[in-house]
Amino acid sequence: MNDLHYYYAAAPKGVGDLLTAELNEIGAQNVRQQGTGVSFAGPLEVGYRACLWSRLASRILLRIGEFPAPTAEALYEGVQQIDWQEHLDPEGTLAIGFVGSSRDIRNSHFGALKVKDAIVDQFRTACGLRPSIDLQRPDLRVHTRLDRDRVQLSLDLAGQSLHRRGYRSETGPAPLKENLAAAILLRAGWPSVAAAGGTLMDPMCGTGTLPIEAAWIAGDCAPGLLRDYFGFSGWQGHVPKIWGRLREEALARREEGMAKLPEIIGCDMNPRAVQQAKAHAERAGLQQAVRFEQRAISKTPKLSNPAGLVVVNPPYGQRLGEITELGGLYAELGQVLKRNFQGWKAAVFTGNPQLGHALGLRALLDNKLYNGPIECRLLRFEVEEGYFTPDRINPPPIENATAKAKVADSDSSGTEMLANRLRKNRRILGRWARRANIACYRLYDADLPEYALAVDLYQGEQLWVHVQEYQAPRSIDQDKARHRREEALVTIADVLEIPPEQVFLKVRHRQKGHSQYEKIEQGGAFCEVREGPCRLLVNFANYLDTGLFLDHRLTRELVAKLAQGRSLLNLFAYTGVATVRAAMEGAASTTSVDMSQTYLDWAQRNLELNDLHGHELVRADCLEWLARKQGARYGVIFLDPPTFSNSKKMDQDFDVQRDHVELIKRAVALLEEDGVLIFSNNYRRFLMDKDRLTGLNLEDITRQTIPNDFERRPKIHNCWKITRMSS
């Protein structure tokens, strides 16, 4: 039991030093940062302790083999050298994770299949039996890493990400992962504040993640205690006696620690978020220990404790044009800090550090952390008069955090930064697009705050560029904004080496009613591009959108795979791209419904361009059509409604948050017994009302449907896979 094992703890980028200290504290050996995670060694007990006690890690991997794999055959043979009966029962369940690629193994799916085949074939030969695949909660999850033709094989002892503590069942519009919340609190110095009896206040707590994690840190509560599944549970090498002893020890420590818990308070103006926060606290065993209140930020109470920590994760804008709008919120937060919390420490976690200027406080420390792919900053303050600065409602532009270079007053400096970013993105994304056979993709997405643009490339018989600029706020000088836009367009054409007439500009602003569907200018022409096996028509001049939503590329691919050999219903079908993709990849039949004849004509042209005939196109209000449709059943339904619509063609307006329950119920009624509904929308604050959708399996698949070129905008859409529960 004391054999030395070698482990790797995967973690969010930016927490390696904290994780190193944490692993040293639990008794790990040879601890050192490696990539974004930490490698370490120790007996099996150390691996178990890491799973139970790590507040920061997302995975704990136990290495079981390493070998060269320059070819797919070498990968197969290397995996077969492991005696898999030491790790898995022949009738157990298995899942394979694979990262990396090589000249011979070009994608992770192919690599994972090779690993799976090697394991299954070994069992079949030795036992006449084979394990089955379970992607959700397998008995054994194998992690494979391929780097420079060399493979590391590991067992995932966590089984699923360790940020899933077990207390959170619902999330708010911008959920913060639990291990990132713990990192924020540790960076902010919460353990020492708590030890000194200080209070914690989160005035914008959302569903309560920061206060709950703070309570568990202060109360010495192991973050893995509530979890009912670990990856080692079905592993043949698992030693329940060791694990049971560690759990008993953790329970005793929690009982002792919770008796000394300081005051912890969370406030939020959203009543539903506060309700969820209270439910999460109850599941975490903290219903008497953490106080949640519904309050606007301006109503944050002044507390009697003269010292403590204010920690807050305010919104920081994920769409073009939001940063300036949020300046007022940050200014209000700064006023609350100065008025109510002098003598305290404060920590503000934001993805737009320029908003920190609006707080009116000078930050003493600035730590870089990552919320998924988004580079964020933890701004740390001493709330004392000596650090107050003049209040600013609108934050000034600052240097680009990635480039680390000051933007000079001259226009040439700014355009050179834009040119450099475009070249870098095209080199990286262009390589990815060529490997994946992608002809249309997002090249640039407001990477630099001075150039609030989204730049999309469309490759057909020539290269076209579709540029979207969000309308500048009224506080910005319009002549300057126009000048900046014009120099950006010239730079884009120059870098991409295309004539200016192949660059199309749109200025996006909040639309009202059906205006988002109207033409924005006359003239223009259709151009042909490709997506997968499909030929498609796009229009850059006549409409606000081109007819092809690039962020739904993976969603359409999923719909097409699900619809092979089955009937497809495409609701709010737009230009029918999902219909074409499914028909090209083997859908038995398709029905596309939209109330716009313009878009249905466009869909018909897309079908004909691919020599597809006999596919049903229906002009109707989708809600009314669903209400009266009876008899027909579909194997797959793709439902992608607008966020809001009050078109004159509709009897009443539509709001996706308000109306999604009824819409989903009507759509599910048309599914075959084993049918699948893919539901998506683009409302950033969308919350699925699970309580009113009983009898359905609701799987959030948003992350799987965000393409590489939209990783900077992970909330550009949300997507759900919905099926009926088996009776």
d(CA 345, CA 496): 48
d(CA 271, CA 18): 34
- Would the pLDDT of 701 be above 60? yes
Q: Which of 591, 518, 581 is nearest to 549 (CA)?
A: 581
The set of long-range contacts for 420-427, using a CB threshold of 8 Å and a minimum separation of 24, is 421/447, 421/448, 422/455, 422/491, 422/492, 422/495, 422/496, 423/495, 426/495, 426/496
Let me know if domain 535-724 sits in CATH 3.40.50.150: yes
Q: Which of 669, 668, 692 is nearest to 678 (CA)?
A: 668
Q: Model confidence over 92-124: pLDDT tens digits?
A: 999 999 988 888 887 788 899 999 999 999 999
d(CA 676, CA 654): 24
User: Of 303-307, 422-426, 484-488, 534-538, where does mean pLDDT reach its minimum?
Assistant: 484-488
pLDDT score recorded for residue 259: 92
**Element at 367 (helix H, strand E):** strand 365-371
| CATH code of the domain occupying 178-226+261-387 | 3.40.50.150
pLDDT score recorded for residue 513: 41
- Mean pLDDT over 698-709 rounds to 96
**In angstroms, how far apart are the furthest CA atoms of the chain?**
76
Q: Model confidence over 266-298: pLDDT tens digits?
A: 999 989 899 999 999 999 999 999 999 999 999
Cβ atoms within 10 Å of 218's Cβ, excluding its own? 23
Residue 724 token pair: 């009926």
Q: Which residues pair with 679 in a beta bridge?
A: 639, 720
For residues 696 and 660, the answer to whether their CB atoms sit within 8 Å is no
d(CA 171, CA 453): 30
pLDDT score recorded for residue 471: 62
Q: Which amino acid is at 213?
A: E
CATH 3.30.2130.30-classified regions of the chain: 5-156
Give the right CATH number for 411-509 from 1.10.3720.10, 3.20.20.150, 3.30.750.80, 3.60.10.10.
Answer: 3.30.750.80
Q: Which of 557, 602, 605, 547 is nearest to 581 (CA)?
A: 557
CATH 3.40.50.150-classified regions of the chain: 178-226+261-387, 535-724
Which residues, 6 or more positions from 243, have their beta carbon under 8 angstroms from its beta carbon?
Answer: 48, 232
- Would the pLDDT of 525 be above 70? no
Cα 379 to chain centroid, rounded: 23
E-only strand ranges, 596-717: 616-619, 634-639, 644-645, 654-655, 671-681, 696-700
Mean pLDDT of the chain: 88
In whole angstroms, how far apart are CA 396 and each of 303, 329, 357, 367, 622?
Answer: 32, 15, 7, 20, 45
E-only strand ranges, 353-416: 365-371, 374-382
**Element at 329 (helix H, strand E):** helix 322-340
- Mean pLDDT over 571-600 rounds to 94
pLDDT, greater one: 442 or 713: 442
- Would you list the DSSP string of 277-305? HHHHHHHTT-TTTEEEEE--GGGPPPPS-
Predicted structure pTM score: 0.58
Q: Model confidence over 313-330: pLDDT tens digits?
A: 998 764 434 455 688 889
Residue 515's pLDDT band (cuts 50, 70, 90)? very low
Which residues, 6 or more positions from 450, have their beta carbon under 8 angstroms from its beta carbon?
Answer: 397, 407, 414, 417, 418, 484
pLDDT score recorded for residue 500: 78
- Would you list the DSSP string of 200-267? EEETT-TTSHHHHHHHHHHTT--TTTT-S--TTTT-TT--HHHHHHHHHHHHHHHHHHHTT---EEEE
Q: Model confidence over 377-415: pLDDT tens digits?
A: 999 999 998 888 864 444 333 333 222 222 223 345 678
| CATH code of the domain occupying 5-156 | 3.30.2130.30
User: What percentage of the chain reaches a pLDDT higher than 70?
Assistant: 89
SS3 label, residue 403: coil
Q: Which amino acid is at 487?
A: E
d(CA 289, CA 423): 53
Q: Which amino acid is at 508?
A: R
Residue 234's pLDDT band (cuts 50, 70, 90)? very high
Q: Which of 403, 344, 401, 354 is nearest to 379 (CA)?
A: 354
- Mean pLDDT over 308-313 rounds to 97
Give the gyration radius of the chain's Cα atoms: 27
d(CA 688, CA 54): 31
- Mean pLDDT over 481-486 rounds to 78
Residue with tokens 């997405």: 445
Residue with tokens 């308000």: 658
d(CA 551, CA 538): 15
CATH 3.30.750.80-classified regions of the chain: 411-509
Cα 37 to chain centroid, rounded: 20
d(CA 311, CA 289): 18
Residue 577 token pair: 């791209």
Cα torsion angle, 373, 375, 381, 387, sign: negative
